[in-house]
Structure 1
Amino acid sequence: MAGVLPRGDRLPSLTGLRFLLAGVVLAGHVLTLGRFFEDQGVYEAADASSMASAAAVSSFFLLSGFVLAWNASPADTAVRFWRRRLVKIFPNHVVTWTLMLGLLMATGTAALLPVPDPGPGEAVRNLLLVHAWVPDMADFSSVNPVTWSISCEAFFYLLFPLLIRPVRALPARLLRPVIALVAGLVVTMPLVAMAVTDEAAPGSWSPLSTERWWLIYFFPPVRLLEFVLGLVLARAVQLDRWPTLRPRWPLLALAGVFAARTELPEEYLWGAATCLPMAALIPALAIRDIEGLGSRLGRRGPVLLGEASFALYMVHFPLLYEIRVLLDRRTFDTVTAALLSLGVSAFCVAVSLLLWRGVEVPMMRHFARPRGRSVSAASPAPGDRTAPLRQQDPAP
């Protein structure tokens, strides 16, 4: 396919997918939090956009596990791995945390979310990426609210050196049963949450109680299941134990889930309902790259934007917050609001490219690995589809 990056040691379609997922989150937040439209009928689509954003975050967790397992080298060490992940996520986090905290202090109002301004405790827990462990919206939505998912990722990274060993040791014949087991646990978690938490109080702004929402969506051990599913899927692809599937079929299944969303319990709209189609799509795209077929997501433009997707994910909320404050929460006619939404989205993408190039890239270049050392790529195991060489870092 013309314009596709050369086949080799990368899975470019998965890098391009990262931008698509970050773009879904951005679009959902511009619609539901920016609230530029004076026509309130526009917000009838808000339930679909919230579900799409939740599906994108779930897919990030799957993708993170898949790519880290794909890259995993027996020659690597836990300390080296943790160092790379710290250098990958923390500089952007510190920059956007500082920016958002400064904006909150300057404006004195939480203009986008129904939460109080963070106190010192909430701010510090957010900075240290432990805030997703606290079942209080003032914590898990504090400062830069999207970082709750990075708090989950930090937990996954901590466990990864322990998890990858048993995944790598799994006999090929057990890969599909383990995938089915983990996928079943993902789908079961909303039922568990419904059994152990109370429903929302009458008249609440949310259809879910804070405790139930936190347990389903924010609690790191629950979201770990999607990460583990990504790990095992990657191993199945490496050992040629996953069927070749055209991406259109998972996408059709995903469309079916969205079409049926009004019939699903609210608890399933926060990732569980869309996890299985996305868990089928990610290997399908990877196999196309392996076989040299590629996809539109593997073209240079989506790949470049995918490389900056973590910066986009981290910076878009502070920018949207400041724009909302500057506009004094005004609303506009449909055409003006639509153009404003597109302009705000483009502005967020442009700033994310600057953040990626100015902070993330130089930090990774200079500090991700000890000077004078390199980690050899993993050799393919017998029967491997391809060797898991170097692949773009999987943070959002």
Structure 2
Amino acid sequence: MTTFPLSGRRPNLPSLTGARWWAAMAVFLLHALIFLAVYPFQRSELFATIHSFVPMQLGSAGVTFFFVLSGFLIYWSNSSVRGAGDILYYCRRRFTKIYPMHWVALILFVAASATVTREGAGLNVDFAMDFSRLELWLPNALLIHTWNPNWALLGGLNVPSWSLGAEMLFYLSFPFLVPLVNRLRGRGHWAAFWGLFALLLGVALTVHLVFAGGWETENAFVARLWEMDVSPVAEPHADPVWFAQESIPVHMAYFFSYYFPLSRLAEFFLGCVMAKMVSEGIFRNTNLAAPMVGLALSFAATWFVPVALKMAVVMLVPMCLIVGTLAVRDLEGLSGRIASPRAVLLGNISFAFYMVQYPVMVALQRYVIAGHQWGFVGWLCCAVAAFILSVILAWLMFTFIDDPLMKATSRGPRRPRKKANPLVRDLAVVMGR
């Protein structure tokens, strides 16, 4: 297998791009189940049964994959970051990737959650939240809301944006910690890998013991909040009642093991270490079946461990091995369908798809679902509609916002040219060059 030095351009890894789509789909499936408040289905035993097979940790598996993949790809493209010019260029690219799409999705949520009524010849718009309360919306806009264990912040506005708060910590810490990754040699790579995993496991166990973490997560969201048979006008997290509350208690073991950015930092750097092992030919596995079986077994184990472990740590090692294996398969020319042009396109729009799905569900709740009584088939039709609309919006956002902005900031820092040796220059003149 070919190895790749720290400096220089490394090859693209289309399988990892294609895999992003499936992680986004896992998140969408969970969100469609808990955010589309279709009644009386959502209060039925059928819903409870489905939710037992599509639990909270399905969505968290997708997020864990994103965090590991983020570390892998950031290292793959930026492992030689050094100096003020490199760091400024790197930060500009990361901010451009995250904030514009986040703000667009935030605006879409605000529009979707607003109530529009006609008064005489004009229209009256009532927003779900009071924008004079800076303490509720400004932390979300700046992506610092996940540092505060207040569910009014975590569960308000565009709910999936919580993961971007962790991503910003990952990105900002990378230039300062990547030299430690670059210093790894030989067996030190695996020592660092297992050391980081042990650190995450220790944090999760500590959180479980300190905060008396329970075992169940089905009440982390409020899908079955109301005792009613008619679908509500607003999904709870987009209801004015939600934003009227000063503070909402959080399951602290759940918060510190899942939402708190520092608790997730090592996942990102596990991805970085895996990227270095792949680039240096230390990790060479091309058999995808083994890590996939490991992921299936670890996912099954989430039913039997506490909250602090089930949402990320248990599935982490097979996630890392899957990411590394997909990368090696690309380098060895064994990509398969997951690297097809269609799969890569879906992977490219997956970030926008992840960001826009909740605003789409909020809009469907208000303008389609509200006031109706539907069972499973009604919910399924709404979920399909949310999927189609989210894909269309995601493609538009990627095509006209994300991709153009990233291309506009793709020019790297200027590096000073080395002055030519006078003897070489004069020899070139003599030879007519």
User: What letter corresponds to residue 70 of structure 2 in structure 1?
Assistant: S
Q: CA offsets, 1:282-324, max 9 Å, x none? A: 1011100010111321111110011111111111111111111
Q: CA offsets, 1:85-142, max 9 Å, x none? A: 11111111111112223333437687xxxxx878321200101111111111111222
Aligned-pair RMSD on alpha carbons? Answer: 2.6
Larger Rg: 2
Higher relative contact order (CA 8 A, sep 6+): 1
Q: What is the match of residue 296 of structure 1?
A: 337
Deviation at 1:58, TM superposition (A): 0.8
Matches within 5 A, 1:6-45: 9-36=11-38, 38=41, 39-45=44-50
User: What letter corresponds to residue 46 of structure 2 in structure 1?
Assistant: G
Instruction: Determine which of 226, 242, 247 is the counterpart of 2:283.
Output: 242
User: What letter corresponds to residue 254 of structure 1 in structure 2?
Assistant: L
Deviation at 1:175, TM superposition (A): 0.3
Alignment of 1:133 with 2:147, yes or no, is: yes
Question: 1:193 touches 1:212 (CA, 8 Å); kept in 2?
Answer: yes
Q: What is the match of residue 104 of structure 2?
A: 95
Deviation at 1:267, TM superposition (A): 2.5
Instruction: Determine which of 355, 359, 379 is the counterpart of 1:337.
Output: 379
Deviation at 1:156, TM superposition (A): 0.8
Q: What is the match of residue 383 of structure 1?
A: none
Q: What is the match of residue 74 of structure 1?
A: 80
Deviation at 1:365, TM superposition (A): 2.0
Alpha-carbon distance between aligned partners in 2 of 1:97 and 1:311, rounded to the nearest angstrom: 12
Alignment of 1:225 with 2:266, yes or no, is: yes
Matches within 5 A, 1:117-266: 119-199=133-213, 205-206=219-220, 210-266=251-307
With the length of structure 2 as denominator, give the TM-score of the two structures: 0.77
CA 1:104–1:338 in structure 2 vs 1: closer, same or farther (change >3 Å)? closer
CA 1:238–1:93 in structure 2 vs 1: closer, same or farther (change >3 Å)? same
Deviates most, 101-110 or 209-218 = 101-110
Question: 2:113 touches 2:363 (CA, 8 Å); kept in 1?
Answer: no
Question: 1:30 touches 1:341 (CA, 8 Å); kept in 2?
Answer: yes
Alpha-carbon distance between aligned partners in 2 of 1:135 and 1:125, rounded to the nearest angstrom: 12
With the length of structure 1 as denominator, give the TM-score of the two structures: 0.84
Q: CA offsets, 1:59-95, max 9 Å, x none? A: 1000000011111252661110000011111111111
CA 1:341–1:278 in structure 2 vs 1: closer, same or farther (change >3 Å)? same
Q: What is the match of residue 270 of structure 1?
A: 311
CA 1:13–1:319 in structure 2 vs 1: closer, same or farther (change >3 Å)? same
User: What letter corresponds to residue 408 of structure 2 in structure 1?
Assistant: H
Alpha-carbon distance between aligned partners in 1 of 2:58 and 2:171, rounded to the nearest angstrom: 25
Unaligned runs of 5+ in 2: 1-9, 117-125, 222-248, 417-433
Alpha-carbon distance between aligned partners in 2 of 1:145 and 1:334, rounded to the nearest angstrom: 24
Q: What is the match of residue 393 of structure 1?
A: none
CA 1:42–1:374 in structure 2 vs 1: closer, same or farther (change >3 Å)? farther
Alpha-carbon distance between aligned partners in 1 of 2:182 and 2:172, rounded to the nearest angstrom: 17
Alpha-carbon distance between aligned partners in 2 of 1:275 and 1:331, rounded to the nearest angstrom: 40
* Equivalent residues, number: 360
CA 1:345–1:361 in structure 2 vs 1: closer, same or farther (change >3 Å)? same
1:172 aligned counterpart, secondary structure? coil
Deviation at 1:195, TM superposition (A): 2.0
Q: What is the match of residue 113 of structure 1?
A: none
CA 1:329–1:190 in structure 2 vs 1: closer, same or farther (change >3 Å)? farther
Alpha-carbon distance between aligned partners in 2 of 1:64 and 1:346, rounded to the nearest angstrom: 26
Alpha-carbon distance between aligned partners in 2 of 1:43 and 1:29, rounded to the nearest angstrom: 15
What is the percent sequence identity of the aligned residues? 28
Question: 1:245 touches 1:284 (CA, 8 Å); kept in 2?
Answer: yes
User: What letter corresponds to residue 344 of structure 2 in structure 1?
Assistant: V
Alpha-carbon distance between aligned partners in 1 of 2:389 and 2:13, rounded to the nearest angstrom: 28
Q: What is the match of residue 226 of structure 2?
A: none
Deviation at 1:172, TM superposition (A): 2.3
Deviation at 1:186, TM superposition (A): 2.1
Unaligned runs of 5+ in 1: 1-7, 111-115, 376-396
Q: CA offsets, 1:316-371, max 9 Å, x none? A: 1111111111221644233343233223212211110011111111112223546x
Q: What is the match of residue 3 of structure 1?
A: none
Alpha-carbon distance between aligned partners in 1 of 2:168 and 2:144, rounded to the nearest angstrom: 8
Deviation at 1:25, TM superposition (A): 0.7
Question: 1:198 touches 1:209 (CA, 8 Å); kept in 2?
Answer: no
Alpha-carbon distance between aligned partners in 2 of 1:138 and 1:344, rounded to the nearest angstrom: 25
CA 1:153–1:49 in structure 2 vs 1: closer, same or farther (change >3 Å)? same
Which runs of 4 or more aligned residues in structure 1 lie more than 3 Å from their structure 2 counterparts after TM superposition?
A: 102-110, 116-119, 204-209, 367-370, 372-375
Alpha-carbon distance between aligned partners in 2 of 1:321 and 1:147, rounded to the nearest angstrom: 15
Alpha-carbon distance between aligned partners in 1 of 2:326 and 2:409, rounded to the nearest angstrom: 31
User: What letter corresponds to residue 313 of structure 2 in structure 1?
Assistant: A
Deviation at 1:206, TM superposition (A): 4.2
User: What letter corresponds to residue 187 of structure 1 in structure 2?
Assistant: L
